[in-house]
Structure 1
């Protein structure tokens, strides 16, 4: 009975869904990388850093995450949360794990690669809805966006576009992949995540013990 109470305790459920969401996100990113038709802006930077300096894509995700956490505190006085550190550490670990396990099929034809990329994008955004729904804190990159928004007074949309354009440029200069998939990701990722957040809010309403929160999807 005590064991069941621990498993179904609201906090246990929230952290479990949060971690599972990071794993799903990592698998989606691995699929998009293997598709080789372009990746998200931050992954362009991580791959560029890997090609230039070595280490793994996941390690560079962790290193950049740590730098961004520090920058967010310096710029916007945003204090790190447990969720932020878990995101920084485990998201990179999951990317490397799935790349190492080679669970992701490698498409040989253009059609297979496009299908793999599209599936990876859907899986990634589905996992993002999972990781957001427990409300354990924003990831390092989202916190950095908020820090710039508060410090500079710029709109969230402008800040996000500015950050993604900057990291894409640096990633490209370092040899990271920039292709059609990069543009598709930049345009589609927001609307897709908006579809999955309400879904996970409803699913997490019972563990939370409160009504679903849907305003983040607006």
Structure 2
């Protein structure tokens, strides 16, 4: 029994490791996008507005909002997993850590590079978490739960959530102040247009690797 259970434990440990790395990469990607000062993604517009209002770090708000979103899982009959716990805590922790290390650049080319790097790192982290299959993040679970409960399309629910948090963040931050601070800008549009497709490409590439049959090594024929 122990021998049979060991491969399953190793597999679970590997999946959990991927979730930890992926969730940490998500927070690092968020930090790079924030440091670029070219515009953040809608949820981060809300996070940054709340952080400034409450006088706390963006990572603290990321964790707090995720915990608040989890409260809405109960009426949607969603169940959290190990991946849910990791993506609730780790992105906020790693976001604050990277913000403390990476200084805000002045040159536009450096800011553009940070934005592009943040998008890639965040997308790779998201793909790792999804492929691990240990439970969705708080925000993704809210989306999938609403789709399953009321039969709404993913596109409609995701767009509605993104617009809602963006408008709320702009109200809390003051739109003109958010634009001057670089919280909302061309980067917000770039993130919206590239994040989903890039995550999709990464998921497809990984799926191809996992489904590609391994060619057997030719064996010597007996003489």
- Which of 163, 166, 172 is equivalent to 1:165? 163
Q: Does 1:96 align with 2:96?
A: yes
Q: Does 1:42 align with 2:43?
A: yes
Q: Which runs of 4+ in 1 moved over 3 A?
A: 199-203
Q: Does 1:71 align with 2:72?
A: yes
Assess if the C-alpha contact under 8 Å between 2:83 and 2:135 holds in 1: yes
Q: Aligned-pair RMSD on alpha carbons?
A: 2.0
Whole-angstrom distance in 1 between the partners of 2:150 and 2:12: 35
What are the equivalent positions in structure 2 for 1:17-56 lying under 5 Å apart? 17-56=18-57
Whole-angstrom distance in 1 between the partners of 2:85 and 2:18: 16
Whole-angstrom distance in 2 between the partners of 1:156 and 1:133: 19
The alignment's TM-score, normalised by the length of structure 2, stands at 0.82
- Which of 164, 173, 186 is equivalent to 1:180? 186
Whole-angstrom distance in 2 between the partners of 1:106 and 1:96: 14
Q: Does 1:145 align with 2:143?
A: yes
Count how many residue pairs are aligned between Structure 1 and Structure 2.
199
Assess if the C-alpha contact under 8 Å between 1:32 and 1:121 holds in 2: yes
> Which ranges in structure 1 are unaligned for 5 or more consecutive residues?
206-210, 213-218
Instruction: Give the match for residue 85 of structure 2.
Output: 85
The superposition leaves residues 173-195 of structure 1 with CA deviations (integer Å, 9 ceiling, x where unpaired) of 22252111111111211100001
Whole-angstrom distance in 2 between the partners of 1:9 and 1:153: 37
**What displacement does 1:129 show?**
1.1
> Which ranges in structure 2 are unaligned for 5 or more consecutive residues?
213-223
Instruction: Give the match for residue 59 of structure 2.
Output: 58
Assess if the C-alpha contact under 8 Å between 2:16 and 2:82 holds in 1: no
The superposition leaves residues 96-152 of structure 1 with CA deviations (integer Å, 9 ceiling, x where unpaired) of 12112x1x3532122221121111111111111112111111100001011222333
